[in-house]
Amino acid sequence: MLIELGHFALILAFVIAIIQAVLGLIYWRSDVRIANFVRSAAIWQFILISFSFMSVVYAFVVSDFSLSLAYQHSYSLQPLIYKITAVWGNHEGSILLWVLILVLFSAAVAVFGRDLPRQLRTLVLAVQGILGAAFMGFSIFTSNPFARLDPAPFEGTDLNPILQDIGLAIHPPLLYLGYVGFSVCFSFAIAALISGKIDAAWARWVRPWTVVSWVFLTLGNAMGSYWAYYELGWGGWWFWDPVENSSFMPWLVGTALMHSAIVMEKRNALKIWTIFLAIMTFSLSLLGAFLVRSGILTSVHTFASDPTRGLVLLALLGVSIGAAFTIFAIRAPSLRAGGLFAPISREGALVLNNLFLATATAAILVGTLYPLILDALMGARISVGAPFFDLTFGVLMVPLLIVLPFGAFLGWKRADLIAVTQRLAGAAGLALLIAIVIFMLTGAEIRLAPLGVFLGFWVAFGSMADLIYRSKFGKIALGESLKRLFGLSKSIWSTALAHFGVGVTVIGIVIVSAWESENITTMKVGESVDLAGYSIKFTVADERQGPNYTISHFEFDVMAKNGKVRQVVSEKRVYMASSMPTTEAGILTYGFSQLYVAVGDADEEGVQVVRIWHKPYILLIWIGTLFMAGAGFLSLSNRKARVGVPKQAKAKRAKAKVNKSKAKTNKGSA
């Protein structure tokens, strides 16, 4: 019964979304009542979809296998957390989660966007309504999560064991919050194009939404990478898999958008470009959804390959991107281009940032789509793999990373490059010193790696240099400097921290790529093997029992250089319902480095294949992303950039209200 109510709530929300979109688009200019209706419609959709979503969650939690979805993806012995996460560990449920987050953002615009100009808000919500209706329709007509089975089976068929991990509770919701969050930027862009009002204020309103979405997308991608690293047992953290690319592209363009919106806000320039990026970011999110969910690709992310769903998604993608760019093409030329500016300036540096991020995205887009297009047109079977992406993306990132520390130092309008270079000399010298030391320690045979390390430290130190310079360390008393340091504005801190995070991630990527070592060998219990200064002894091999799987359990004692011994457990599991095996790698963390132990098959005499990696400084990759995300949150806590911050001061608004009510009473009396 609850399930049917949930289904009904989804259909009701679908109808409301259509009405909201139609009324909003027709009457955005005129009517206050329509504006109010559109706002409450957005909030009601969120309430309805939440109920709808919870009804499915409930069926999973109580193992109601009469719900077809629960039968297919759950199992009564599954731990509770995986029963809940199994709701979105499949095609239908993940679309429902997507819809839930979409209406969450619409409701957030309705609630926090109180102080947006009425017409803009109505238009934004109307566009959100179109997107909502499209995805609710997709769910209702092609991917119904509420289908029942009669008679109800006694037992479910289990969630894909690879997905039975805490990662499923974190990675998809974060990623969707990022993906779908950019829909708000998209809607703001379309609304601006329709109303023709595109100014610095628009950029100020849209920026917090960009930052929120970007923070979630950053965390979602980082979490996905770490999950793949520890769960898949291959020891890699990024594969340039088309699915990864399709969530990385919106991140890159979203990063560009975040920076160009600053130029638009401060200098009233790059307007057309910023609008273009706002449309592009969400379009790439949609493209990602299409690639992942249509079944074109084969991956753990593609749950079902029903051709009609793929076609409907392609149509959805084509219509929304096509319509958006048509409006863009019609309206963009009528926008007044912003003023020119000097190449050596903050805005000049941000243009370079955008240029390199956009071309890097283009490179990834070409590499991702080329095999698909070639296959569709000529039936040629090729694949574009890591060598292509490493080369193109790597080459395009080098100039970006070189320029990055300058950017934050340069002033708006026009800046003195020589003075900035002098201020950055310390950071450059320090980074160079570290690179030279590494070069000497490791020998000259790895030539690119010290350069990469230099770039990473250059970005990390260069970002900190801004803070040090601004708080005048060494020029005034230390206490005074510290006071200044903590008094610096949140926007300066968040810029420095985010860029510092980029540096940290680069350092991690370069070090682990250049200096990781591995050993694949066969071992019997009692034998030892050495790797990167660690001695790994195989101690235990036995069979055990998990809640819904059986375990081949292996223990190793790892002795570090300092003689300390730690134990690590590596497992192979076979899940009962699906009889599918998985590998649970054993990971030991030493500082920022990790030792990774995966066990393969045994031969007849019980000799076990063991694969051990030493991953130096690998944790820096994800720690850097935490800095970036943290910086994003910090910038959001800045009162000046908060979501839906009032345009006018409170007093002024109160006055305006009084005036309004006066006007009303005047009307009444007249």
In the complex, the residues that contact other proteins under the rule CB under 8 A are 72, 157, 160, 162, 232-234, 298-300, 304-305, 340, 343, 351, 355-356, 359, 362-363, 366-367, 370-371, 379, 381-385, 387-388, 391-392, 395-396, 520-522, 572, 578, 580-583, 598-601, 603, 609, 611
Give the nearest distance from C-beta 522 to other proteins in angstroms.
5
C-beta of 113 vs 233, nearer to other proteins = 233
- Residue 155: CB minimum distance to other proteins, A: 14
- Which residue number, 68 or 471, has a Cβ lying nearer to other proteins? 68
Least distance from other proteins to the Cβ atom of residue 252, Å: 14
* Dist CA 276 CA 283 (whole Å): 10
Residue with Cβ nearer other proteins (85 or 583): 583
Q: Find out whether 138 and 312 touch, Cβ atoms under 8 Å.
A: yes
Select 451 or 485, whichever has its Cβ closest to other proteins: 451
Whole-angstrom Cα distance, residue 135 to residue 118?
26
Give the residue with the Cβ less far from other proteins, 2 or 602. 602
Nearer to other proteins, 241 or 555 (CB): 241
For 98, 286, 366, 459, the CA distances from 293, given in Å and listed in that order, are: 12, 10, 20, 37
- Say if residues 1 and 36 touch (Cβ distance below 8 Å): no
**Closer Cβ to other proteins, 136 or 351, answer by number:** 351
Put the strands of the sheet holding 608-615 in their side by side order: 517-523, 608-615, 593-602, 586-590
- Closest to other proteins by CB, 383 vs 659, is 383
Q: What residues does 129 pair with on adjacent strands?
A: none
* Cα 641–Cα 646–Cα 649 angle in degrees, nearest 5: 110
- Token pair belonging to 496: 């420095």
Q: Helix or strand or coil: residue 565?
A: strand
Minimum separation from the CB atom of position 44 to other proteins (A): 35
Nearer to other proteins, 346 or 572 (CB): 572
Whose Cβ is closer to other proteins: residue 15's or residue 520's? Answer: 520
Q: Residue 340 CB, nearest distance to other proteins (Å)?
A: 6
- Distance between CA 405 and CA 420 in Å, rounded? 10
Q: Which is nearer to other proteins, 329 or 366 (CB)?
A: 366
CB of 389 to other proteins, least distance (A): 9
Q: Are 538 and 528 in contact (CB under 8 A)?
A: yes
Q: What is the dihedral of CA 659, 664, 668, 669, to 10 degrees?
A: 10
Q: Which residues pair with 584 in a beta bridge?
A: 571
Smallest distance from other proteins to CB 245, Å: 14
CB of 467 to other proteins, least distance (A): 30
Count CB atoms within 10 A of the CB of residue 658: 10
Burial of 659 (C-beta count, 10 Å sphere; 0-12/13-18/19+): exposed
In the complex, least distance from residue 377 CB atom to other proteins, rounded to whole angstroms: 15
CA–CA distance, 92 with 282 (Å, rounded to integer): 21
Q: Residue by residue, what is the 3-state secondary structure of 281-335? A: HHHHHHHHHHHHHCCCCCCCCCCCCCHHHHHHHHHHHHHHHHHHHHHHHHHHHHC
Query: How many other CB atoms sit within 10 Å of the CB of residue 43?
Result: 15
- We find the least distance from the C-beta atom of residue 185 to other proteins, in angstroms, to be 24
Which residues, other chains included, contact 30 with Cβ-Cβ below 8 Å and sequence gap of 6+?
Answer: none
Q: Minimum distance from CB of 94 to other proteins (Å)? A: 15
